[in-house]
Structure 1
Amino acid sequence: MLKRTFPSPEVLQRFPFGLADIAVILGTLVLLALIARVGAGTLVSFVPPDVVPGVSLDPANLPYYAGRSTLRMFIALFFSTLFTLVYGYIAAKNRLAEKVFIPLLDILQSVPVLGFLSITVTGFIALFPGSLLGLEAASIFAIFTSQAWNMTFSFYQSLRTVPQELEEVARLYRLSGWQRFTKLEVPSAMMGLLWNAMMSFGGGWFFVAASEAISVLNQEYTLPGLGSYVAAAIAAQNLPALGWALLTIAVVIFLVDQLFWRPLIAWADKFRLETSASAEIPESWVLDLLKTARLPYLVGQLLTPVSETINRFLSSLTPPNSSLPVDSNQQTVWSDRLYNFILLVVIGALLVIELHFILTTVGISEVFKTFWLGLLTLGRVLMLIVVATLIWTPVGVAIGFNPKLARLLQPVVQFLASFPANFIFPFATLFFIRTNISIDWGSILLMSLGAQWYILFNSIAGAMSIPTDLREMAANVGLRGWLVWRKLIIPGIFSAWVTGGITASGGAWNASIISEIVSWGQTTLTANGLGAYIAQTTQVGDWPRITLGIGMMSLYVVGLNRLFWRQLYELAETKYHL
């Protein structure tokens, strides 16, 4: 087994003063220079219907294209994290807001990325007149919609399952709302949030190609990036260019893992809810370097007065509440009645509008057609969830429980989850063509390449969140085989698995749009399903059918969430949490 070769903090401290600081300074300057170089390309002038310079298949351009795509991904991740903390907190803490925010989140998750892109791109261009920033913002927003929902579901569920004894300690110490948020709620949600952020970041690569090739005002605009490069290579049937792109994305994923995600994993280990020490802790040479350098500590000391002032100000706005939460039954009944009345009015109005739209545009027969296509796609989604659960849940638990296995497999699964599955679609399409495999079945495999990782990553996060002392106690009393799964593992990871299942389901519906219709050169394979229907109508610009397809997909996703996944959420909140 390979061991870490980078010196430990103790060894580094024996080096001459400033060696680690020089490394940190040089690394920071290089990072800033790269951001400035890549970001300069977003500030060029652009006025529709001008044409953005096309993507060159020269491999020498790949580092620049990789930088442009990676910068978009990190900007989208920043806004996804901000959205997660605000939206998830409000939904978890306000009962009336929860009744609106969570169904709305179901709907937002069900709307395909292409649907967001088609609706918002014109607005972003108008927001930044005369600049390419409008197209860049539209691309970043599309990536944001592929990242934010998964993270928000995870954070919301973590807030709803904070251990009751920790809630009582927070009231006992009279923590303000801001202190509870920063000292209790975010730390307790950190493990699940971090793993879902990694999954969301990897899932964002899946839609990079769609977000970098934008159609607006009957004109195609292609932004420089890895996704657009792959799309151009597929159109040209250029296998060498596709191979160079795959190598480039592999290097990018490795660098992001080593320089960003691995330090975060090692840092976040301190937030695990433990009463005994972990057997082994994650390691990161970047985190060791930052701990050894004096500069980060000095910068932190300089910023301490500012952070303390901000903390005092926000704490004063959210005074502590030491009393137990009071929920008046009468008030609850009246709020539920008001909510149900408003919901009925809204649903009634939407039904009237939808009925008028159907009768005046597509007709009733088209509705039945999309409903049937939705059933076909639903069957693929359910099959994916069942198979992914049976395969990846045991793998995730093994990685979460075994530190040695985690060191070996965690980088592998992280790489596989981050690798954009649609980059492999051309090879899968060639395989389907030459083996005469129906795309009706092959699309399930293509959908799983992007959606199955939600279940794996949440299973890992759930297993890692089970305290070590509970696992030791289960071993001491002799729990083995199925008994340990029924008594410890399934209850321990249930909440995380539900989050993984609901986001994998939404991801699979989204992935169906690019999985049920695939191309290689002039050959196109099309499956019978709602995803292919939306992709085809989007390509020809048939807005009535685009609206009908997206609406039908939203109806399926929301219905599945409300009838199935929401019941499992309630079970996790009431029975299966610490």
Structure 2
Amino acid sequence: MALSPFITHAETAAGGHGRSTAGTRTSMTAAVASDVIVVAGILVLFGTIAWMLPDVDATLGPEGPPSHISTDPANLPYYTLRSLLRMAVALLFSLIFTFIYGLAAARLRRVGKVLTLLLDILQSVPVLGFLSATITIWITLFPHSMLGVEAASVFAIFTSQAWNMTFSFRNSLLTEPQELDEAARSFRLTRWQRFWKLDVPNSTIPLLWNCMMSVSGGWFFLTASEMISVNNTTYALPGIGSFVEESAANRELGNIGLAIVAMILVVLLIDIGVWRPLIIWSQKFRNEQSSADAPRSSLVLNVIRRSHIDDLLGAAFRPIGEALDVAMRPLGRTGARWPLRGAGRRAGDVVFAAACAGVLIAAAAGLVSTIGNGPGLAELGTALYDGGLTFLRVAVLTLVCSVIWVPIGASIGMNPRLSRMLQPLIQILSSFPANFVFPLATLVFIAWGIDINWGSILLMALGAQWYILFNVIAGANSIPSDLVEMTRNLGVTGFLRWRTLILPSVFGAWCEGGITAAGGAWNASIVSEVVSYGNHTLVARGLGSYITQATESGQTARVVIGVAVMSAIVVIVNRVFWAPLQRLASRRFSL
């Protein structure tokens, strides 16, 4: 409201000065309170970690790692904290892996093709495949200590988190806006400067949504990573996943219900304290010339912004950034496109291709030898047949989930109001470990006479569908507001708006979500095709159950066959179907 003309200049000045002084005092008080809250939160966090560390590195007795844990509900809070610690450590290593591997896969011309192919293979290898090959290594590295089993568990969670994050970061690097790339090369930024000032900010929004999805995937495989059954041996770690697994074996439905309630509370707290502030903060990296439609707020983010923690962190990490900048200067600046030199050296290409072919031939020969000396070639036919059944389930799942979640995800990503309303619910549903309800699903399937061969598709979808939803939300959320405003001004609405703006904008995100959803579904088949409650066990015919049963019985040759068949199917599908779609998205639908 405008000032009354009867108020004199002196009165206005005096009033303004008083308001300014009061506002300054209020701001200082808020800053001090925010500093106290942030410091208290940091102390509680590190104090809790320090309290749990002695148990993580506990000494093993002569009987070795425990095979059972207590199902006393009083232990549930402590078990939940242990699981959260494993998830956080695995996510940290996944981020480091994402930045290093994704950067190499996107920037290195020759090696990048191999790294991308390996990424396809790695995302298709089930968690049990990694565990059966590495559990002995981790225990040997940390003998007579629980740290070896803990490391194996964290590694298993890492293998369920890292791949979709790496795919997201690589895709963001390959679709960077040309004008930003030109600016980076014009300013001759060093490799570190380009990475930190262009690559990471440009990938922040989709990478953040994939981090959320990775945490959800980690929760999904928590029971398999905390109650490890390999080679007829079970290694049990204190955690909410192993608590549910032990309670299901003992038919303790009450304990499973308590674990479900605990998980809902944990997911809500993580959403309020971590994901929602990060999502709001990430909006500063939107590639647009106009502001977003409606600003969002978060109490946690407001407290952090009022405090001085950002100044302290900046002062602490600035020397590290400067050291990395100096270390990368010998690699040159971004004055030319990657690779810097030798892009047309045919001799090098021939040598590299020959080396890759040699490795593939050696791997194939080793696989054939393993099959021949073990169960025989007939077992390969069985694995291929089972792989075909699981492939049909994955294909149906991907198609149905795309039809359902693409329009819903696009609507959520483009509507801040809808996003604020539905994001907590989406977080609860996606982060909730679906296999916690598998024991209940087993009872339902038995009571209603549902064939597990069909029911397993639903169980796989509970863990894999969110990859499509989250990527589509991130893709729609990244649409520049000026394009949205332009369609409004031109009166483009309804199906025409979807066909000309929304679907082309989220097409690349859907491709990325489809790849990771299919890979997640293949991985989820190991826990979805074999479900049990007490003495009741339902087994669906498929490659997931094939690998699960071979791992539990210690049949290494069959595990190798199952993993090899699963990897081959995933790679072929990605090369034949998904890769052309990704090239189309990069060529025609990149913003």
TM-score by length of 1: 0.94
1:253 to 254, 267, 277: 267
Q: In 2, are the aligned partners of 1:47 and 1:129 still within 8 Å (CA)?
A: no
Q: CA deviation at 1:15?
A: 3.4
- Change in 2 beyond 3 A, CA 1:566/1:14: same
1:173 to 187, 190, 200: 187
Aligned to 2:535: 522
Q: CA deviation at 1:504?
A: 0.4
Aligned to 1:79: 93
Aligned to 2:204: 190
Number of matched residues?
569
Aligned to 1:383: 396
Q: In 1, are the aligned partners of 2:173 and 2:199 still within 8 Å (CA)?
A: yes
Aligned to 1:6: none
- Change in 2 beyond 3 A, CA 1:29/1:174: same
Residues 358-373 of structure 1 aligned to structure 2 (within 5 Å): 358-373=371-386
Q: How many Å separate the matches in 1 of 2:178 and 2:230?
A: 51
1:100 to 107, 110, 114: 114
Q: In 1, are the aligned partners of 2:32 and 2:307 still within 8 Å (CA)?
A: yes
Q: CA deviation at 1:328?
A: 8.7
Aligned to 1:56: 70
The alignment's C-alpha RMSD in Å is 2.1
1:500 to 513, 517, 526: 513
Paired amino acid for 1:577: S
Q: How many Å separate the matches in 2 of 1:213 and 1:430?
A: 22
1:513-534 Cα offsets, whole Å, 9 max, x none, are 1101111111111111111111
Q: In 1, are the aligned partners of 2:397 and 2:457 still within 8 Å (CA)?
A: yes
- Change in 2 beyond 3 A, CA 1:47/1:83: farther
Which stretch shows the higher mean deviation, 226-235 or 49-58?
49-58
1:184-222 Cα offsets, whole Å, 9 max, x none, are 111001101000000001110011101111245643220
Which stretch shows the higher mean deviation, 21-30 or 240-249?
21-30
Higher Rg: 2
Q: CA deviation at 1:330?
A: 8.1
Q: How many Å separate the matches in 2 of 1:10 and 1:454?
A: 46
Residues 344-363 of structure 1 aligned to structure 2 (within 5 Å): 344-363=357-376
2:469 to 441, 446, 456: 456
Paired amino acid for 1:463: A
Q: How many Å separate the matches in 2 of 1:126 and 1:154?
A: 34
Q: How many Å separate the matches in 1 of 2:535 and 2:317?
A: 61
Aligned to 2:11: none
- Change in 2 beyond 3 A, CA 1:281/1:310: farther
Q: CA deviation at 1:473?
A: 1.2
Q: In 2, are the aligned partners of 1:362 and 1:545 still within 8 Å (CA)?
A: yes
Aligned to 2:292: 278
Paired amino acid for 1:470: L
- Change in 2 beyond 3 A, CA 1:359/1:63: same
Q: Does residue 140 of structure 1 match 2:192? A: no
1:533 to 546, 558, 568: 546
- Change in 2 beyond 3 A, CA 1:280/1:16: closer
Which stretch shows the higher mean deviation, 338-347 or 136-145?
338-347
Q: In 1, are the aligned partners of 2:232 and 2:553 still within 8 Å (CA)?
A: no
Q: How many Å separate the matches in 2 of 1:358 and 1:216?
A: 20
Identity of aligned residues (%): 48
Q: Secondary structure at the match of 2:144?
A: coil
- Change in 2 beyond 3 A, CA 1:74/1:329: closer
Aligned to 2:487: 474
Aligned to 2:583: 570
Q: How many Å separate the matches in 1 of 2:343 and 2:306?
A: 58
Q: CA deviation at 1:232?
A: 0.6
Q: Secondary structure at the match of 2:344?
A: helix
Q: How many Å separate the matches in 2 of 1:464 and 1:344?
A: 42
Q: How many Å separate the matches in 2 of 1:188 and 1:520?
A: 46
Q: Does residue 374 of structure 1 match 2:390? A: no
Aligned to 1:441: 454
Residues 31-46 of structure 1 aligned to structure 2 (within 5 Å): 31-46=45-60
Paired amino acid for 1:242: I
2:426 to 380, 393, 413: 413
Q: In 2, are the aligned partners of 1:517 and 1:524 still within 8 Å (CA)?
A: yes
Q: CA deviation at 1:347?
A: 2.8
1:297-342 Cα offsets, whole Å, 9 max, x none, are 5524643762564365246344324245689998265444334333
1:164-187 Cα offsets, whole Å, 9 max, x none, are 111111112221111111111110
Paired amino acid for 2:526: I
Q: How many Å separate the matches in 1 of 2:151 and 2:565?
A: 28
Q: Secondary structure at the match of 1:220?
A: strand
Q: How many Å separate the matches in 2 of 1:358 and 1:16?
A: 68
Q: How many Å separate the matches in 2 of 1:274 and 1:171?
A: 21
1:416-471 Cα offsets, whole Å, 9 max, x none, are 11000101111111111111010011000000000000000000000011101111
Q: Which runs of 5+ in 2 are unaligned?
A: 1-22
Aligned to 1:200: 214
Q: How many Å separate the matches in 1 of 2:262 and 2:117?
A: 39
Q: Does residue 234 of structure 1 match 2:243? A: no
